[in-house]
Amino acid sequence: MTKHYRKYIQKVCEQCGITYTVRADIKASRFCSIQCGGLSRRMKPIKCEHCGIEFIPSKNTTKFCSNECAGASRRLRENIKCDYCNKEFERHSCHINDVINFCSVECYGKWVSENKTGKDAFRWKGGIYKPYDKYISIRQTDGTYKQEHRIVMENHLGRKIVSEEIVHHIDGNGKNNDIDNLQLMDRPEHGRIHTTERWETGTFFKEVE
């Protein structure tokens, strides 16, 4: 009977650097012991942001070595200047922003109204407003919004549309603002068209549940 002997090879532990012997068929082996494997999975030591002591954090967001250091850091206050009114005020160190700080909600609101409007606004979406079931509106230079189908018709006519005139969507899709789908008419005529459509489709009266 033929005897099969296991083959052993030498590897270097990725944690401690010691050379160790392992079976050749165990290709996933990286550490010389369970202890080295456990140490490799732990977080690397960092310095506590309050006392400077080195410690191994429990998770990536940990900044302090203890609850005492975390509490002490929150109690620290610094005198800084408001970036809007230049008034000096006191704030917790952990609440100081690296970019900009304000002494009150009023100063923040005034700064936003002066510096974060139009294309610089936090929620800027290209100046186009699209309600779920209505028309598309485009932001104008004066900050107001105007319905896109009226803008398209005015550009086509070369004049402003008066308040008595209505731009009708022929296919009934309020967001299809192709000039071939738009028709200019007065308000009574527009009302008659939609009234006739509702009578013909049976949607003139709402169903009572």
Parse the chain into domains and list their residue ranges.
9-42, 54-120, 128-201
Separation between Cα atoms, residue 165 and residue 199, nearest integer Å: 24
Query: Of 97, 44, 93, 46, which is closest to residue 71 (Cα–Cα)?
Result: 93
Q: What is the pLDDT of residue 126?
A: 64
Q: What is the pLDDT of residues 117-146, one digit of tens each?
A: 767 766 666 666 666 567 888 878 777 888
- Could you give the CA distance from residue 39 to residue 45 in angstroms, rounded to a whole number? 11
Q: Confirm if 182 and 170 have CB atoms less than 8 A apart.
A: yes
CB contact at 8 A, 37 and 14: no
State the alpha helices, DSSP H only, in 98-170. Answer: 105-115, 148-157
Q: What is the pTM of this model?
A: 0.40
